[in-house]
Each structure stands twice: as C-alpha cells, then as structure tokens.
Structure 1
Amino acid sequence: PADICLYGGAAGSGKSYALLLDALAQCINYPSHMAGIVRREATMMDKPGAVVDTCAGMIRFIPEARMVKSPRPCVTFDNNSKILFFGMKNEADVDSIHGAQMNYIGVDEATQMTKRQIMYLLSRNRGLNGAPCMLRMTCNPDPESFLREWVDWYLDPEGFPIKAKSGILRYFAQSKGETIWGNNRDEVAKKANLDPHLVLSFSFIPADITDNVDLMRRDKGYLASLEGQSEVDRMRLRYGNWNIKETAGQYFKPHYFKIIDRKEMPELIAVTRGWDLASSEGSGDHTASIKMGRDAHNNFYIMDMDFVQYSPFKVDELMMARAKEDGNECVVRVPQDPGQAGRAQMAHIRRNLVGYVVRSRAMTTAKESRARPMSSAAEQGLIHIIRAPWNETFLAHAEAFPPVFNSPDIIDAAVEAFEELTTNVDTESNIADAAPISLGDNNTFHRSDFFTFGGVDNWQR
C-alpha cells in the first residue's frame, strides 16, 4: 500500500466514514495494532454526530470492540488493538506525541494542518507487530495548503481532479527543504541523492458526493445544498477544485441582486438594521448600516443604507435617529469586539437605545466566512434591493468584497442584518447552509462493509 494516501477533496464523499472504516479494519486484522485519528481541533471530534459518535455507532456491530470516552475517547479491541482520538492544534503540540508509535494514522481535514505537523506525524508512523504502517488523510480542497503541491500531478490545469489518475502511486522525498517528486522510487532517490529506502509513496483518490451512493439515497437534498453554495464553495465542495480562491468579485456580483421599487416589496415578517461601527471622524474608517427585511418565502429586501465618516458622538445620534425611524419592531444588530472594550461598547449602545431590541454577536470568525451564507442567498436571487440613490455604492462594495486594504463596512453591516434574519429561519428555508453536513451521521454499518466498501479497497493500493 501507499505510505501516504489522501482521499476525498470534495464534500459528501464519505471521507470521515472511510477513515474510520479503514482504521477499524486494520485493528481487527492485526493484533496489537495502534491507530490514531487526529484533527486540528480535538473538540470537533467530540461534537454530536462527529467522528467519535460515528465510530461509536460503527462498533456496535463489532462485539470485540468497545468505546471508552474517558479520560479521552478511544476504541479498544479484544486483540489488544486500540484507536486513539486526539488533536494537534498548533505546531508546538507535536511534542505531545513525542515517542509515540502508531501503525495507522488517520488525519481528518488535513488541510487544516501544517506540513510540519503532517511530517512529524509520519515520524510516529511505526509499529512492532509486523503490520504495514500507513498515513491516511482526508480533506476538502484548499489552494493555500501545502497539499495543493502534493496533488498537483493528479489535477488538470484548471484545478479539477483527473479521474484517470486516481490511486496511481507517486513517489517523493524531502531534500534540503525541497520536495522531490517522481514516478518511481529509484527516480526520486537519484534526483535527491538519497537512499531509495528514504523515498515515500503517495496516492490521491479524489471523490465527490456522486461517489457516496448511500448519502445520495438518504439525503436527496444535500446535492442541491452543495449546488446552492457560493461560487467558490461550490467549485471546491461540489466539484473538488483546488485552484479557485476567494477574491474580489467572487462573493457578490451585481446581477445577483434584483433592484425593485418599494411598492413591489411584499409584506415582511421580520426586519433588522445591521451596523458596522467606526470611531474616528475623517479617518479612512466608515460607519455603515443596512436595513433588511425578510418575507414569508425567505426572500430578503435591502431597504436603506448609511455609509458615513462620523465621530463617536455623531454615530450615537445617527443610531438613535435610525432606531426611532425604524420603530420598535426593527431589531438593531451590532457586532461586538472581543474583550472588555467590546462589552463596554455594547453596554453604552444599549443604554442609548433603551426601549429597542438590540442584539450583538461576538466576532470570532473571519468576515469572509460569515459572508458566505449571504453570498449563497444572493447568487440564488433571494436578495432584492429597493431602488434608491445609494444602490450604486452598495453594489460597488459588494462586488469588491473582500477588499485588499479597506474595511468592507457596508457588507459587514449587511451580513449582520442577514445573520439576524436567518438565525431562526424554518428548517425548510431555501437558504443553503454554508457549513457542510457531518459526513458520518446516521450511517448504517455492517461487518461485511469491511470487504465491500470500495474506498477502503482503493486505499490499500
């Protein structure tokens, strides 16, 4: 088998399930086998329906295996084999596995890890039971990851996987900080001036949702969800593209938004005004607000916009004036900076707007990530703009998102409003959730799957 194999490269392909299936098969077939399943964030594996829960459901059909949840999750077997689950958040965390020996290492969401972390894991890929040692990885495409170089040979010029190259072995070695690639072990050894035993084999097996027949049958709406993502996420998660990047113009295009007259707007069931605040008059920072509403069919309407360079005092006056104009039924949504300063600012805003509903959300994720659900809704034609003089400014900022230098104030305000309006949307909403569904949920597992699951067979090439 390949020393290192990467599987997936698109959402819905059963990546996490395949990783667990392979680890279980190895532990059943080889006594005293030590396997490790690792993610950057260990807490992500313990969440309901995540990797640990999925594995617990799978071993219900394996009487010689049992799940131990404390002090940290692991699976033990009657033949003295074991599967450990652990995290490696930072490069410094490699010290936590110093001296460890694992025959099998499975890295879930490998693009979230650095090359140093992966190579150090490879140094722990050893065992004493005579079984083959292997490193297996899963991921979604990321053009900024070091894995983009590793899969380059398997991709066409546009960054899509070439199916005919799936599973073919390649060989590489590290020499003077450079990765040397070739078609066979001797070729790489000669190029790198190394002993052939220091050359590693690598294989990439691309897969997407259409390869996961069970998921396609159980969740017929998931394919539509992937197709409904923003352009960047759709190309990555649905079609496995490794080249596409989040650049200006790919989140919001002007034709995504339909401009209508106010009289065309139907009755709204929820209204909010989102703010993005700046503190200095005359500086490069602006204060922006977007008033947005939602109708009963989950269409969204941008009704008003502010975009000004005001002092903090004038911003307070503007917020109070807008709250009075909008009325009590319009929720005021404001982002909250982290730390004590953010809490103090929110307390100040709430004092000024007594009698109005003010909500906030701590800014813990990147602005680009927060904009994805709104981008998806816009691309589906669900966001309308009421005709007004500010339309051109809004569309210009939307198309330029994310900007290289200046803060995307207008879009930040729009995202605040959109998030508030979609927080409690009915589950039948036609807004595609930007977060991929957990791939291991509710899978039915049988012992015979060890021998019939094509993904595991392919990993043994």
Structure 2
Amino acid sequence: MNAHTSITPGIGHNGGPPITETTIKPQPGPQTEFLSSPADIVIYGGGAGGGKTWGLLMEPLRHIGNPGFGAVFFRRSTVQIRNEGGLWDESAVLYPQIGGSPKEHVLSWDFPTGASVSFAHLEHDKTRFNWQGSQIPLICFDELTHFSAVQFWYMVSRNRSMCGVRPYIRATCNPDADSWVAELIAWWIDQDTGLPIPERSGVLRWFVRVGEDLKWADSPDELACYTMINDAGEQVPIPPKSLTFIPAKLTDNKALMAADPGYMASLLALPLVERERLLGGNWKIRPAAGLYFQRSWCRVVDAVPAGTVWGRGYDLAATIPTPDNPDPDFLASVRIGRTPDGRYIVTDCRTTRTSPAGMERFILNTASEDGHSVEISLPQDPGQAGKSQVAQLVKMLSGYTVRYSTETGDKATRFGPFSAQAEAGNVDVLRGVWNDGWFNALEGFPVAKHDDEVDATSRAFEIVSLNKASIWDSM
C-alpha cells in the first residue's frame, strides 16, 4: 500500500444489512502535501517509490460525489497504463473500495453518482488533437517527463469545467535533467547540486504565458502588467495560473518501506546515474564519461579460478573503413566468466573492422579458440535481414551453445547491471594487452563515438549472470 486505508463496519441505513465504511487517507509528508495543495498545477516528483502514483490516484476521490465530475489520467502509451503494477492495476486495488465499477475495455471507472475516471494515452504529439473540444475538470499526468511540452500545454487548454469543480492539473515524474520539466521547475531545484530545495517544497509561484515564454512572479498581482484583448475588445490582464513542485523519495513512503524492505537495496544496486536520479532525486545528473565505469573499480589479476562459467557476447556493427567513412564501428567480442564465489572476471576483448565474410571467420575462429564450454550470445537486428544473418551464424557455429536476441532498452540500461557490479568491486580483469583498449572504451561511455565494446560487454555479462536462456531463442 502507498496510502493509509482503514475499513470500519457500520449499521445499514433504515435497519438494512451492515455496511462497510472505507477511510482512505494519504501518508503524512509529501503525499499529504501533494493532496492538499491549492495550486492550479502541482508536480509531484523525485525518486522512485515515493508514493507518487497512489497520490495521483487518490486525487479524484474528493470529487466522486459530483455526478458531473470526470478526470482523465494520461500516460504516453496504453502499454504503460496496463503494465504490471502500473496505473490500471493500482486503480483496481483502490477504486472498488469506494464503489468504482471498471470498464476495462475502455480503461475507465464509473462511480455510483455518475462521476468517472478514465485512463488514456498521448503517444504522439498529434494525438493531442483527439481531445479537441474536451472539457476535463481534472487532468493527471503520470510520468510527466515522458510527454512533450507541446502535449502538456495543449492539454492545459482542455482543462475546463462545467460541473462546479475548479479545473486543475496534477502530475508525477522522476528526475530527467534533459526534459522540459527540469526547466519548468528550476526555481524549486538547487542548480548546483540538482537536489530539491527543501524550504521551497509546495511553495506556490504564479505565471502567465506570453507567446512561448513563461513570466513568473511570487504573487498574481505582480503579473497584472501582462494583458490580452478579450471578446469585448477590451484590454485585460492575462489570468495567471499557480504552479508548485513537491519532491518525494523512497524514505517518505513508510508503507512501501515496510511492505518491501528490499526495494532500497534494489535502488542502491543501480549504476551511479540511475541511483542518483531514482534514489537521490537528482535533477542535474547526466550520463558522462566515467560515470558508468572506471578502471579503478576493477582488480587486475593474473589467474582465473577453476570452475568459472563462461559467456561471450558480440556486437556485430562492423564495416570496412572507406574515404567517406574512415572511422566506422567495430565488430567487438568480450568474454566474461562467473567464478564459483560469485565474482565476475573479464578475460578477453577483441575488435575488428571487416567484411561479412571476414566477420564469419572472426566469430568461428574465436569460438574455436574458446572451446565448447563458452556460451555465445549474438544480437539479432530486427527485420528479415537480421533474422537471416543470425540464422547463418548459428548454422556456422553448429556444435557450440549459441543464443541470440534482439536488443531491448537503451544502451545505458543494458550496461547498467555490469556497471553496478563493477562499481561494487565485484569484477576482476585478467591482465592482457587488450586491457587498455577495453578500459578506455568503457570509461568513455556514453559520450565516446564508439560503444561496440560496451554492447559486447553487456551481452556477455547478461549470459553469465542473469540466466535468461528461458526467454531467449536458442539453437
């Protein structure tokens, strides 16, 4: 649970059967602050596990006694709404307790009074026009940084009400230094550290939009100088809106900390950049060289423990240099072992730029050198050409254990598990002439031009650490 819920038996009306009263209230702290803010727009953001989604889901409940009330929750895609443990799943825990009836085929809830709560996507910028002419008293954005500024400001224009509820907007998000939201809430964030300024949490600021610019003030009276022409042809002040930002982090969510004490450990195990964002709530942290890997995290050794289990990963992005492309990507291959005591050891990295035929020779010779005990992991490009390529390589490697899969997630996400183990001091490197090249490539990620060794390392680490054979195609 991410909120306090209590159920109290009671006596039925007119001597009828007993009824049950359900009291749902926010947790003390940021969740209460979020649900009590008078601002037109409240952004509830910060680290993972701060109770943001439940805070958002509770917001419409104050109006469900109004038969004309409707709220719409937006996520960027319908898949995100339906994800395990996402908005729809959480709403199914909360809304039936106060009489909500689901219409799953249209992702909405109806309440006995006639009030409704709907869930919708804004996958593309043009999708916003599906809401042309709408009047939505309460608009909720889950993960606001996933939306474009164009989508957000257009939906602000749809935030209207004829049911007596003052129109307003609520949003949640995790930190993203490169999003438009970071600029929108800059006043609430220490620009040197990237962390929220505690004394500014929940403080209202007022703005008007003049063209594409936002003009800010500490009170609405200070914005009276910005005017517009109304329908009667009169020059009048532009109506200001209020906005505030309320930060939250995992330690604010006592209910989740008690229900899942291991979640803190999961966040602490993230690579530095993601750990700063999702645990620390840092709005300025960005991927940079040396943040995902440093050679000082690894111990260089001269021997490999007996009983080590092996995997070799590939990145197949090789082409031959040409005058038009003198610095193309490499074919890269990395071998990693998991030792009997649970540590990891990197024992080989090799790269080449070659033709398709040269690539096949390179892979076959490397497999022969490794022996049959080393599992091989190949990336499969999407499309028919990728399927044909990997089928040919698997056929060529008959007798070896070969797995293949398409890449999912971005490169930083795929590299994250290895990065976290390296930072924790759990990775050894076998001394060799290839060491400096591999170290340099990983330390340069993600700003260096080439990341082929990084991708190959991610794939090799995955095969020896996560045991994903059950969800991979294999031959």
TM-score (norm 1): 0.87
How far apart are 1:300 and its partner, in Å?
1.5
Query: How much is the aligned-residue C-alpha RMSD, in angstroms?
Result: 1.8
Residue of structure 1 aligned with 2:404, choices 343, 351, 360: 360
CA-CA distance at 1:296 after TM superposition: 4.5
Specify the SS of the correspondent of 1:250. coil
Partner of 2:46: 9
Q: CA offset at residue 262 of structure 1?
A: 1.5
Deviates more, 1:111-120 or 1:326-335: 326-335
Is the counterpart of residue 421 in structure 1 residue 455 in structure 2? Answer: no
Amino acid at match of 2:440: A
C-alpha distance in structure 1 between counterparts of 2:432 and 2:343, whole Å: 19
Amino acid paired to 2:457: A
Q: Report the secondary structure of 1:262's partner residue.
A: coil
1:434 match: none
Shift of 1:251: 0.8
- Contact map agreement 2:270 2:420 (CA 8 A) in 1: yes
For 1:8 and 1:230, locate their aligned partners in 2 and report how far apart those are by CA, in whole Å: 20
- Amino acid across the alignment from 1:286: F
Structure 2 residue 373 is matched with structure 1 residue 329: yes
After TM superposition, the structure 1 stretch with the greater mean CA deviation from structure 2, 319-328 or 278-287, is 278-287
Q: Which of residues 142, 148, 153 in structure 1 aligns to 2:187?
A: 153
Structure 2: gaps spanning 5 or more residues: 1-37, 229-235, 470-475
Q: Secondary structure at the residue paired with 2:362?
A: helix
- The answer for the alignment partner of 1:30 in structure 2 is 66
The reply to whether residue 41 of structure 1 matches residue 77 of structure 2 is yes
The alpha-carbon deviation at position 297 of structure 1 amounts to 4.6
Gaps of 5+ in 1: 427-461
Amino acid aligned to 1:304? D
The aligned counterpart of 2:417 is 373
Q: What TM-score results when the alignment is normalised by the length of structure 2?
A: 0.84
The AA in structure 2 aligned to 1:77 is: F
Amino acid at match of 1:138: T
Task: Give the secondary-structure state (helix, strand or coil) at the position aligned to 1:16.
Answer: helix
Higher mean displacement: 309-318 or 416-425: 416-425
Taking the aligned partners of 2:92 and 2:122, their CA distance within structure 1 comes to 22
Of 301, 304, 307, the residue aligned with 1:267 is: 307
> In the TM superposition, what is the alpha-carbon distance from 1:205 to its structure 2 partner?
0.5
Secondary structure at the aligned position of 1:313 is classed as helix
Q: State the distance in 1 between where 2:65 and 2:350 align.
A: 65
Q: Which amino acid in 2 is paired with 1:78?
A: P
Equivalent residue in structure 2 for 1:389, among 430, 433, 442: 433
2:314 partner amino acid: W
* The one of 117, 120, 132 aligned to 1:86: 120
Instruction: Name 2:233's counterpart in structure 1.
Output: none
The one-character-per-residue Cα deviations of 1:348-385 (angstroms, maximum 9, x if unpaired) are 21121112222222134322222122212211112221
1:103–1:126: 8 Å Cα contact kept in structure 2?
Answer: yes
Q: Which amino acid aligns with 2:197?
A: I
Kept in 1, the 8 Å contact 2:441–2:450? The answer is: no
- Aligned-residue offset at 1:28: 2.4
| Shift of residue 298, structure 1, vs aligned partner | 3.6
Aligned counterpart in structure 1 of residue 97 of structure 2, from 61, 73, 79: 61
Amino acid paired to 2:239: L
Q: Secondary structure at the match of 2:48?
A: coil
Deviations 1:103-140 (A, max 9, x none): 11110010010111011111111121101211100000
Rounded Cα–Cα distance in structure 1 between residues aligned with 2:65 and 2:281 = 33
- Distance in 1, matches of 2:379 and 2:456, equals 9
Which of 58, 61, 65 is the matching residue for 1:21?
58
Task: Specify the alignment match of 1:182 in structure 2.
Answer: 217
- Aligned partner of 1:412 in structure 2 is 455
- State the identity %: 34
Among candidates 342, 349, 362, match of residue 318 of structure 1:
362
Counterpart in the other structure of 1:170: 205
Matches within 5 A, 1:114-133: 114-133=148-167
For residues 235-314 of structure 1, what are the structure 2 equivalents within 5 Å? 235-263=276-304, 265-268=305-308, 270-282=309-321, 283-284=326-327, 285-314=329-358
Aligned-partner Cα distance in 1 for 2:392–2:165: 64
